[in-house]
Amino acid sequence: MNFILISPYYPSNFQAFAHQLKGAGVTVLGVGEEPYDQLGPYLQNSLTEYYRVNNLEDSDEVKRAVAFLFYKYGPIDRIESNNEHWLELDAELREQFNVYGNKTNDLKIVKYKSEMKKLFKKADVPVVEGRIVKTNIDLYKSINELGLPVIAKPDKGVGSAATYKLSSEEDVRQFKEEWGEAQVYFLEPFVEGGVLCTFDGLVDQKGNIVFQSSFTYNVPTLELVKGQLDFAYVIQKEIDSKLETYGKRIVETFGMKERFFHIEFFKLENGDYVALEYNNRLAGGYTIDLYNFAYSIDLFAQYASLVTGGEFKESDVKNQFCVGITQRDAYAYQHDTNAIYERFGDRVRFEQRMPDAFAELQGNQFYAINAESHEEVDEIIHFVHERKKEIPLCI
């Protein structure tokens, strides 16, 4: 099997995909921007060949790279990055070279929030009503129908980038000026008191869920960015049955195969959920590592097994919580890395400086810490986020 990994070097924790694919007997071919010497021995030894391009955004240049690898190694069986930024490039390449997996037309339902909403309804999963906004007339009409506050997001896009909370007429006026009708937006009512959570997992070549998980954020991402708040999220030991039911319906309706998925929900105060977004890839950052720590598995190896026609192997170790938590350089905390290790010992599974691309959103210093109970989760979050008390100046 010939497998082309797009951007095998970044993010660094995804290099394990190349390593485990090679271990499963796959010929792993890389296409990326970094010089070969920068890859390091671990990744170099996992790749049969690496083709460096000047710019992965230049699809013609990347197509020439794939064509060269096709000519040298024969038909390509898979092209994948597992990275949101390159999903469209992956699909375009698959279409060009007739490779298994999602093609460009398949991505419409996972790139446009308005299309996602249609499929959530088809899956009989609760949603809040939304409106497509192309003009200022659409904007004011939608706000009159939905009322304030609303969340305004680009219809095509992911994450909290270019997202606004509109709570007042002044917010609407400012948004209108910054937006300038430059792109299509999607408006939906702001969910008061909702807890942001997920239903995540992996489907096999038949579309069956072989791994599932869920995590909960301490604060919604929009508030996190705007307020530069302390960040934590928790991989759950067990998935709430209602969330699991909704998540499975959505996965079946979207019909993806041999892929990771990451579905965002708000949990309401009444215990129900509303679906927000379907992401046709892994959750970002170090989340896959947290899954591994929480469930004592290796999803990199499991993915390689599925791709090569093997089975997903369940762990026989009891699940744990895993807390992903950060500290920001801008704040003075009561406990540093040494104190965190002293307090939690070998439950600290991982600590790492965050890449600049994630630091503004999530923080600068990342820790992954296992816990057995909700009480231990609360203890970890309080300990890591406890700040030094400011001494008032005497006048």
Q: Which domains does the chain have, with CATH numbers?
A: 2-108 (3.40.50.20), 129-189 (3.30.1490.20), 195-385 (3.30.470.20)
In the predicted model, is pLDDT for residue 345 greater than 80?
yes
Dump pLDDT digits (tens) for 35-48.
Answer: 999 999 999 999 99
pLDDT given at position 394: 56
Distance CA 371, CA 380 (A): 8
Contact 47, 25 (CB under 8 A): no
pLDDT of residue 361: 79
Q: Provide the angle, in degrees to the nearest 10, between the axes of the packed helices 337-344 and 374-385.
A: 160
Q: What percent of the chain is predicted at pLDDT more than 90?
A: 87
Please give the C-alpha separations between residue 178 and each of 182, 183, 249, 256, in angstroms, as whole numbers: 9, 11, 38, 36
Amino acid occupying residue 268: L
Prediction pTM value: 0.93
> pLDDT by residue (tens digit) across 328-337?
999 999 999 9
pLDDT at 314: 86
Predicted local distance difference test score (pLDDT) of residue 183: 94
